[in-house]
Amino acid sequence: MWSNLVVKLILLTGLINSIYCQSPPRVVCYYDSRSSLKEGIGKVLPSDILPAISMCTHLVYGYAGIKAEDFKVAPLISNEELDPNNGLYRQITSIKTQYPNLKVLLSVGGDADGNSPDKYLALLESSTARIAFTNSVNVILKQFNFDGLDLAFQFPKMKPKKVRSTIGSIWHGFKQTIGAAGKPVDENSEAHKNQFTSLVVELKNSFRIDNYQLGITVLPNVNATLYLDVPSIKNYVDFVTIAAFDVYTPARNPKEADYVAPTLSVTDRNVEENVDFAATYLIANGLAGTQIVVGLPTFGRAWKIEKDATITGAPPVAANGPAPEAVQTRTQGLYSYPEICNMLLNDQNVNLKGEHAPLRRVPDPTKRYGTYAFRLPDANGGYGVWVGYEDPESAGNKASFVKGKGLGGVAVFDLSTEDIRGSCTGGQIKFPILQKIKEKLK
Ligand SMILES: *[C@@H]1O[C@H](CO)[C@@H](O)[C@H](O)[C@H]1NC(C)=O
């Protein structure tokens, strides 16, 4: 009798909440723990991201993986992440003592789990494996005081598109090496879609007692149409994050540089590869706009460009693989936002030549495509760079789009490549991308 009343009260409160208390947009902040392993200025620990947390509604720890032998969730860096006193999991969730309203989620997958990639589909295919995974997730969430799980499931990716033939004859030889188009990414995608629905339902049901949140992240270049049965999962997920970036990367598209994270469709490109299409598709299939979170990168993708690059830098631009690595990220073809902003024209680099010559930033007043910057090759064909990225202005435009379309918020991938130290503004503005997002979502 009593318990019945309590249940009714809880249901009623939920109803009132959903009708009257439109929750404010989410700002989902990812922390990629691999940054804790870097040396020098690229090293980012949980204590370094504290100044950002007041701007985040959610903090997501990336990434845990799956053990191929038993399908249990497992740390990816080392077992030290699990140290009960001062491991990274504990450091991240204890941030809640200072920010009690913060929700801290553990993210699984995220393209960080490189060993035996087939295990993700194998997990789906076996109900025993799904149960083992679900049980292990509950244990770890409870043990470390997480508030839920982000399922950044590693589905097979779409094949990189062929280089456009209109770009010029030099691409003929290259086109043949791209491989035959037409073969589906996953012949069993229909079955995998149904099994993924089962996993989502099983996870969420197991979360009810503890009221854990469940998020799903659609990783870059995963075709949501193939794997999300939106009508069947919409009541079991708190939100779906579309990681709508890496549309082009130097690894997937070495010969062509292009916009990495367009908001709206770009002329002569695949009409499906932009934020607007992805969100509209999910809404058309019954997901509430407020359940959709738009992910944007705090890093840029950088290509080497050679002689054929056009003088305006307007993409698509003929490229030749990834640009050389920089000091923080130390990864070919990848620059953090502060690395990029410091390469743009400034008083120090205005007269420099070669690898230190300034890049020219090209903003996007149309608010459709995002920002890029470039440096044309010198007389000998060296040092040319083209980088597509988000800066505070373009990220702010994206947040305004999210707000205008009534979506559920913005996710930042990730805090470690944000301008933690404010180096783009002489130390004045720390986490400038996040600040602008927050401002525009208000
Ligand atoms: C995603 O899959 C659907 C269904 O097979 C297909 O119609 C669509 O073109 C695919 N999208 C992309 C970008 O390849």
Quick one: tokens of 242? 């579309």
Domains and CATH numbers, the chain: 7-298+391-441 (3.20.20.80)
| Atom 13 of ligand 1, residue of closest alpha carbon | 272
Instruction: Please give the Cα distance from 143 to 134 (Å, whole number).
Output: 14
Tell me which DSSP letter residue 344 carries.
B
Q: How far is CA 295 from CA 263, 371, 398, in A?
A: 11, 16, 10
In this predicted structure, what is the pLDDT of residue 162? 73
Ligand 1 centroid to residue 249 C-alpha, Å: 19
Handedness of CA 48, 438, 298, 99 (dihedral sign): positive
Q: Cα(362)–Cα(279) distance, rounded to whole angstroms?
A: 26
Cβ of 265 closer than 6 Å to ligand 1, yes or no, is no
Residue with CA closest to ligand 1 atom 9: 272
Distance of CA 69 from the midpoint of ligand 1 (Å): 32
CA of 223 to the centre of ligand 1 (A): 6
Is the C-beta atom of 306 inside 6 A of ligand 1?
no
How far is the centre of ligand 1, averaged over its atoms, from the C-alpha of 225 (Å)? 7
CA 415 to chain centre: 11
Q: Verify whether ligand 1 is closer than 6 Å to residue 270 (CB atom).
A: yes
Ligand 1 closest atom vs CA 223: 1
Q: How many angstroms does the Cα of residue 244 sit away from the middle of ligand 1?
A: 15
Question: Does 198 contact ligand 1 (Cβ within 6 A)?
Answer: no
Residue for token pair 């997937």: 252
Residues 6+ apart with CB under 8 A from 214: 148, 149, 151, 200, 203, 204, 207, 236, 237, 238
Which pLDDT belongs to residue 164? 66
Q: Which DSSP state fits 326?
A: -
Atom from ligand 1 closest to the CA of residue 224? 1
Q: Is the CB of 223 under 6 A from ligand 1?
A: yes
- Please list the pLDDT of the chain residue by residue as tens digits (442 residues): 455 655 555 555 544 444 444 678 999 999 999 999 999 989 999 999 999 999 999 999 999 999 999 999 999 999 999 999 999 999 999 999 999 999 999 999 999 999 999 999 999 999 999 999 999 999 999 999 999 999 999 999 999 877 765 544 344 334 333 334 567 899 999 999 999 999 999 999 999 999 999 999 999 999 999 999 999 999 999 999 999 999 999 999 999 999 999 999 999 999 999 999 999 999 999 999 999 999 999 999 999 998 766 678 899 999 999 999 998 899 999 999 999 999 999 999 999 999 999 999 999 999 999 999 999 999 888 999 999 999 999 999 999 999 999 999 999 999 999 999 999 999 999 999 999 999 999 9
Q: What is the DSSP letter of 292?
A: E
Enter the tokens of residue 134. Answer: 């679900």
Quick one: how far is CA 244 from the chain centroid?
7
CA separation, residue 90 to residues 61, 82, 115 (Å): 11, 7, 25
